[in-house]
Structure 1
Amino acid sequence: MNTEQLQVLVLFPASEEHKKMLESKAEMAEFTYSSPSTVTEEQVQQADVILGNPPTDMLRQSGKLKWLQLNSAGYDNYLGDGILSSDTILTNASGAYGLAISEYMICGLLMLYKKMPFYFDEQKQARWSDGGGVKSLYGATVLVIGFGDIGNEFARRAKAMGARIIGIRRRLDQKPDYVDELHTMDRLETLLPQADAVSLSIPASSETYHLMNEKRLALMKQDAVLLNVGRGSSVDSDALCRALNSGKLGGAYLDVTEPEPLPGDHPLWNANNIIITPHITGGFHLPETLERIASICAENLKAFTAGTAMKNVVRR
């Protein structure tokens, strides 16, 4: 592809080293650096390529955009009618977030297994209390729903700590060595009663909306833990509150909620044995995440200008 007239708009927080790497992949292109909060509609309209997540309303009038490379793994916000032209290539940053998010998942699970919410509350009251028995990942059965980059990285870490791993994905593929069983979603209700922990790292869709509803939460073990780092809509918030407050579940770690942001008066905040983080596990807090995003962008920019196959193309 002739890159002399190519206008590339970069919206993720690129360092000077990142800029050099990107510009080396399309030496004749013109690069503009901004951010989702400061970018102008004119900059979006003039771009042939956008690397990062622009405001969706600015894309509706963009007839020039050839390729949008998101800095997020999630892309559902960009699939609405009229946001992107049917000719625009859409790629995401799948593969950048598995390390960071899976560590949060391990952290949240172990905090609940070791009763850390109880001890934090006791610490604030200056009480020297023993919370009693705890659980271990060693020998636990972990049901991993969603076996992309994040699910795989979480499964690796849980397996290394001695867990039995059961994976659920849309289509059966070759089973990794660190997975004990691999199934498709039609087996979900059979597998839920076996699990000591259930993790969700799945995108929003009509199939995943309230996947964990009252019925399926009731199928889980009484002391099981639910982890959700995908989309808040995968879990029925009201049903989860009831399950936690009745003692039906052992706990929950949520980085995503429904609705989001979670209103201050929402009952989830005060549900029993819950840990909530404000959708931060997949951000730029871990420097390695940004390095991986920059590398994906650079690799795809090289492929785009050369007319070769690109990574992470979203099949719309």
Structure 2
Amino acid sequence: MKILGAMPFTDDDKKYLENIAKDCEFVYKNKESVGEDDVQDIDIILGNVSPDVISRAPKLRWLQTNSAGVDVYCKDGILRQDTLLTSASGAYDTTVSEWMVSVCFMLARKEDLYMRNQVEKLWKHEGKVVSIEDSVTLVLGLGSIGKHYAKKMHALGSYVIGVTKNRHSEKPDFVDELSTVENLDELLPRADYVAMVLPGTAENVHIIDAERLKLMKPTAFIINAGRGNAIDGVALNAALRNGSIGGAALDVTDPEPLPETDPLWDAPRCIITPHIAGQFYLKKTFENIVKITGENLEKYLSGDIEGMRNKVDHKKGY
């Protein structure tokens, strides 16, 4: 069996994986440099190789991504239905949830305004602020990252409402209310923070549109760390400029990179980061990914497919 490693594995990582799969042949390449010729005899790919290249891998049995989101691999014609797909869900919980909490503090304390004032060398007060304590946080998408964020906001004194696609049988202790997407219009007017960590599925495209932005409090903040197209960018720009919401923090945009001409760049109270909440900037994140990959590799080779982590339903996209 031949395995292509397309993550930035260290020498120690490679030894760890090769010790698990002693009878397998390993090939390592940078994911950007992997071409069609490189995947013709590959059985397993570890890493986010281009979907176009993946679609041209005739022997591929299993793809383990280094990302939590895998929707690009679930499109028609990319993977055969019998090809196993697993994600790195859970690896990014700390880094993304901490980014989300950090921008909540920034917006609450108007740190974005003070940072702009510093650039302009302005000693200027920006007025009253708000607190996370005693706020209401609406979390759209209560997956692994969403739960970690919810737990942090609850610990800070916020009343947390979790929103899922389907009703869960158990409510986590750190979630004060659990609801479903069908109740979103009734929930939005209650929220001080609307935090989004939704997967990139068709039903989530523009789930926050002009009409739903109008339902939000004029003091409410919207946070997006899921998929950029979950928010209608044109409508968000309008809402920020007319003051119908309090502010926004976006680590994801539609499109990416956000064009220089996009008005969101200088929209009032809009914090934009270039999809860096995740990535591998926090050392722990990639260590988590390697651990997930190794555990899945061991189970796959032993035939314990059922025991593998983060198996993805091709049709659902998660």
| Structure 1: unaligned runs, 5 residues or longer | 1-5
Name whichever of 115-124 and 235-244 sits farther off.
Answer: 115-124
Which of 47, 53, 56 is the equivalent residue of 2:51?
A: 56
> Which residues of 2 match residues 101-120 of structure 1 at below 5 A?
101-120=96-115
Amino acid at match of 1:244: L
Does the CA contact (< 8 Å) of 2:45 and 2:63 recur in 1? yes
Distance 1:136 1:17 in 2: 44
Q: Does 1:219 align with 2:215?
A: yes
Name whichever of 231-240 and 72-81 sits farther off.
Answer: 72-81
Distance 1:262 1:216 in 2: 23
- 2:231 aligns with 235
SS at match of 1:190: helix
CA RMSD of aligned residues (A): 0.9
Aligned residues: 311
List per-residue Cα deviations over 1:124-183 (Å, max 9, x = no partner).
Answer: 222211111111110000000000011001001111111110000112221111110001
Distance 1:179 1:60 in 2: 41
- 1:299 aligns with 295
- 1:276 aligns with 272
- 2:206 aligns with 210
- 2:121 aligns with 126
> Which residues of 2 match residues 166-205 of structure 1 at below 5 A?
166-173=161-168, 174-205=170-201
SS at match of 1:117: helix
Name whichever of 32-41 and 256-265 sits farther off.
Answer: 32-41
- 1:18 aligns with 13
Distance 2:34 2:175 in 1: 44
Distance 1:59 1:178 in 2: 40
SS at match of 1:37: helix
Which of 38, 41, 47 is the equivalent residue of 1:46?
A: 41
Does the CA contact (< 8 Å) of 1:144 and 1:165 recur in 2? yes
TM (normalized to structure 1)?
Answer: 0.97
Q: Does 1:91 align with 2:89?
A: no
SS at match of 1:111: helix
TM (normalized to structure 2)?
Answer: 0.96
List per-residue Cα deviations over 1:68-124 (Å, max 9, x = no partner).
Answer: 001001111111221111221011110001110000001111111111111112112
Equivalent pairs: percent with the same residue? 44
- 2:22 aligns with 27
- 1:251 aligns with 247
- 1:3 aligns with none
Amino acid at match of 1:225: F
List per-residue Cα deviations over 1:31-50 (Å, max 9, x = no partner).
Answer: 11112112232222221000
Which of 126, 133, 138 is the equivalent residue of 1:138?
A: 133
Amino acid at match of 1:159: H
